[in-house]
Amino acid sequence: MTGHSKDRAWTSTTGVITQIRPEYQWRDDALLHQGTVIQTRTPVHPDNSGGPLLDAQARLIGVNVFSAIEAQGVNYAVAVDTVRAFLQNLVSPPSHPAPRSSPFLSPSPVTNPIFLDPGASAYRIERFGQQIVGVYVNARVPPLDVWLVYRDPSRQHLAYAAKGSKTLAQIDTVVVGADPQWRTLVYYLDTNCDGIVDLIGYDTEGNGHLERYGTPPQPERLAQLARELVAALTAGLVSYSQIQICQ
pLDDT tens digit sequence for 128-142:
888 998 888 777 778
Q: Domains along the chain?
A: 2-86 (2.40.10.10), 98-245 (no CATH)
Q: What is the pLDDT of residue 186?
A: 92
pLDDT tens digit sequence for 147-164:
999 988 888 888 999 999
pLDDT tens digit sequence for 58-72:
788 888 877 765 556
**Contact (CB, 8 A) for 247 and 224:** no
Could you give the maximum distance between any two Cα atoms of the chain, in Å? 68
Q: 87 pLDDT exceeds 80?
A: no
DSSP state of 80: H
Q: What is the pLDDT of residue 234?
A: 92
Round to whole Å and give the CA distance between 2 and 14.
9
CA-to-CA separations, 170 to 30, 164, 177, in angstroms, rounded: 18, 5, 22
Q: How far is CA 213 from the centre of its chain?
A: 30
Task: Name, in order, each residue with C-beta under 8 angstroms of 101's C-beta and a sequence gap of 6 or more.
Answer: 32
Residue among 109, 112, 152 nearest 132 (CA): 152
Q: What is the pLDDT of residue 175?
A: 92
Q: What is the pLDDT of residue 115?
A: 60
Scanning 36-79, the segments in alpha helix (DSSP H) are: none
Q: 86 pLDDT exceeds 70?
A: no
Predicted TM-score (pTM) of the model is 0.56
